[in-house]
Chains A and B, each alone.
Chain A
Amino acid sequence: MPIGAIWQTFLETPLINIMVGLSAITFGSYGLAILVFTVITRALLFPLTLRMLHSMRALQDIQPQMQEIQKKYSDPKRRNQEIMKLYREAGVNPLGCLGPQLLQFPIFIALYQVIRITLGNTPEGVLDLSRRLYDVGFIQDAVPLSRTFLGMDLGQNGNFVLGGAVFAAMWLQQRISTSRSAATTSSANQAQMNQMMQWMLPLIFSWFVLFSPAGLGVYWFSSTAIGLILQWIFVGPGDFTWGSLVPAPFRDALGITLPEPGTGRGSRPRPKPAAVANSDTESRDTNASSGDERKDSRGGSQQGPRTTRPSSRASRRRRHHRR
């Protein structure tokens, strides 16, 4: 069986019938059918999503230990071993976050095709739909489908409002995720990567939504919104506050104060210097003879006080900004 036939038989055609059936159930509204489909998809993926959220939280919880390992071991092999050990001990799968995203990907692509087929972007599309529908009365009778939803033509490309909404929702999701990890991120590269992800991912998806039927944008926006809500409920907003969206110069004028990092719901407090120093010493004691210990460029290994200095340029900047 060629891959195209497999794709059509097992994903595309069932999805076409599901969407047409949902449309019949939701009073002939294709937009409502997309929303119901999104909720169903997210509900089916919920166990995976929950695991992803827990994994995300656990990853953030072990950030201090990760930083310690980064500082402590210069040998990359040994460092990786220690990190993997830490993952095992904490029960974290660093790739666990990808599951729901990867599963959503074929759905996203199939839905793109399905919207084009079901809404018939050409008159021939409506004829072709005939052979794709199951021989079930209420599904057959649901065609042709209503293309309009909330004033949008769901089959048309170039909906800027929807593109903007998708951008905003994804940006917010990234912002909440990165604000949580920013508190514990010491690496400037990591901070830079987070910053890039915060802008690039929403840009890419909103661009894609702009050049796809509006129905796909409705799906992606609602899916992102649901993801955002789940993240808020199960992991918490971290250090994110709505006030942080207000540009700094206006915050004082509006009387908005931002909470200290690590005090937000769902965020973990920064590691205390003493505890880190202890753990650092402990580790050094156990590994001193193995030659894995990082040699400080200024000569000699650094003890406790080192952990009290700002860990990165990014965090120095944040502290300075708060002052």
Chain B
Amino acid sequence: MTHAPTASWRRAVGAVTSMFHVKQSATSDDASDVSRETHAADRSAARTMFHVKHARQRRGALIALAAVFALVAVGCGGVQRPDGWAAPVQVGDGVLVQARSGQLSLINPANGQPAWQYPSDDDGGRPFYATPVVEGDSVYVADYKGRVARLDANVGNATWATDLDVQVVATPLLRNGSLFVPAEDGTIAVLDVSSGAVTRTIDTTDRRIWSSPAADGGGLYVSDLDNGITIAFNPSTGERLWEQSATGASAADLVLDGDLLMVGSFDRSLHSLGVEQGGQERWVAQGDGWFLARPLVSGRTVFASTMHGTVYALDRATGAERWTFTADDGAEFRAAPVIVGGHLVVAARDGRVFALDTTDGSLRWTVETAVDGNLNADPLVVGSDIYYSTSKHNLVRVDADNEGAPQAIPLAAAR
């Protein structure tokens, strides 16, 4: 039985060989029959051409297949997945950080060990762009797909969760027992913090909102991404108080300092609006790139940084430039500047951190955090430690007292 295939193979080879011999002998024995010979030659040539043609077709098909594969590879290679840029926040003694896309972990900053995770099961399709809001024992979170939840800060369980079914990038604002959640469809959902029920929706007419709103006793201030309009609402009724269209499209978190509203804009300007003057523009500071980082007001100075790698120190009252600092090698500032240990600390997306003298902008120290991913998220300051999380969900601590010595915090245990 084991020889059967060999035998059949031999038989097949023999048959082919005998056919060849028959054909050969026929042509040699009947040499006078020229037409038959010619006919046989024609057939042979046609057969050869047939094989050549088929080989060409196969090659063509392979090339076409390779081209289609390359097209799909190139096309799919460029598809970017949302990772989220929620900033780390302090909850008790721990740091709440997006340890992986779509999962928040409350970790011990000393060793990276998690106390709890939310959601407990991994769901990478719902990353967090909105920074969690902490109030007492509660943490309010909103993911990219619009699920808003109130978590127990001690154990990480959701007290309630509400699906808004809209994309959420902006950090919600907590005010007077209501959570204001701006969304990509231009609405602001107002949730009751005790139940999670949506009590009302404020409509800004189809404009994406990426910047966290600001509020005071008189109004709720929102800036939009698409039409470049800053709007003031009555937070209680949702009534529109005023609009300012000179600010340009904005994705930077708004900062309210007294009666001044700072709006960083894509028009390469930082706008200062007087909220008590119906949003009238008080001053505009022209920069060299998009202002996407939340500005920082300290005393009589406003610090703002651009995606073009420049930090500006401006006079709060007039917007006059006091000093500037420009980082080389294509630095982009998206993370908000912070003041730690008397220095202004700014982090570039590529992982470099710069400490500047607040009075003249001179460079005090600089470090490379050398962690995987971009520094898109705002930092968390705890004492002299500054925590940065990256787009690849790594966490690094920069010690401002020790010239920024960086220390990566392993989150592997949390996964």
Contact = CB atoms under 8 A, between A and B. Distances in A.
A77 B266 contact: no
B143 to A, nearest CB: 13
B412 interface: no
A77 B45 contact: yes
Interface stretch (B73-81, B153-161, B255-263, B362-370): B73-81
B290 interface: yes
Given A75-B45, A112-B75, A141-B267, A124 B80 contact: yes
A261 B238 CA distance: 70
Interface stretch (A37-45, A126-134, A181-189): A126-134
- Quick one: which of A140, A143, A144 has the most chain B CB within 10 A? A144
A121 B290 contact: no
| A: contact size bracket | 20 to 34
A116 B267 contact: no
Interface in A96-145: 109, 112-113, 116-117, 121-128, 130-131, 137, 140-141, 143-144
B271 interface: no
A77 B44 CA distance: 13
Given A76-B49, A131-B330, A144 B80 contact: no
B98 interface: no
A144 B289 CA distance: 13
Interface string B255-292: 00000000000111000000000000000000001101
Contacts of B268: 137, 140-141
Given A109-B71, A123-B82, A123-B210, A76 B46 contact: yes
A146 interface: yes
Given A75-B42, A124-B391, A140-B290, A116 B376 contact: no
A315 interface: no
B297 interface: no
B343 interface: no
A74 interface: yes
Given A124-B376, A127-B334, A144 B49 contact: no
Contacts of A144: 225-226, 249, 251, 266
B214 interface: no
Given A76-B46, A127-B349, A130-B332, A121 B80 contact: yes
| Chain B interface mostly | loop
A291 B71 CA distance: 48
Contacts of A77: 45, 49
A124 B83 contact: yes
A274 B274 CA distance: 92
A117 B80 CA distance: 9
B38 interface: yes
A109 B292 contact: no
B169 interface: yes
Contact of A122 (B81, B307, B334): B81
A125 B308 CA distance: 16
Interface in B73-129: 74-75, 78-83, 85, 129
B80 A76 contact: no
A131 B332 contact: yes
Interface in A286-303: 291, 295
Contact of A124 (B38, B85, B266): B85
Nearest to A130: B307
B104 to A, nearest CB: 18
A146 B292 contact: no
- Quick one: which of A116, A127, A295 has the most chain B CB within 10 A? A127
B290 A130 contact: yes
B82 A124 contact: yes
| Chain A interface mostly | helix
Contacts of A131: 330, 332
- Quick one: which of B71, B75, B210, B391 has the most chain A CB within 10 A? B75
Contacts of A146: 226
B71 A123 contact: no
A137 B38 CA distance: 78
B75 A109 contact: yes
Interface string B371-382: 000101000000
Contacts of B42: 74-75
A75 B42 CA distance: 7
Contacts of A143: 249, 266, 290
Given A124-B85, A127-B334, A141 B266 contact: yes
Contacts of A124: 80, 82-83, 85, 374, 376, 391
B281 to A, nearest CB: 17
Nearest to A142: B266
A89 to B, nearest CB: 24
Contacts of B290: 130, 140, 143
Contacts of A140: 268, 289-290
Contacts of B332: 127, 130-131
Interface string B190-230: 00000000000000000000100000000000000110000
Interface in B302-336: 307-308, 330, 332, 334
A205 to B, nearest CB: 12
Contacts of B82: 122-124
B34 to A, nearest CB: 10
A148 to B, nearest CB: 8
Contacts of B374: 124, 127
B294 to A, nearest CB: 14
A295 B38 CA distance: 11
Nearest to A216: B75
Contacts of B210: 123
B330 A126 contact: no
Interface in B356-415: 374, 376, 391
B319 to A, nearest CB: 19
Contact of A123 (B49, B85, B249, B267): B85
A18 B78 CA distance: 19
Given A127-B376, A144-B226, A116 B38 contact: no
Query: Lowest 10 A-B CB distances belong to which pairs?
Result: A122-B82, A76-B49, A130-B307, A113-B78, A122-B80, A144-B249, A123-B169, A141-B267, A143-B266, A144-B225
10 contacts: A109-B71, A109-B75, A122-B82, A122-B83, A123-B169, A123-B210, A124-B80, A140-B290, A144-B225, A144-B266
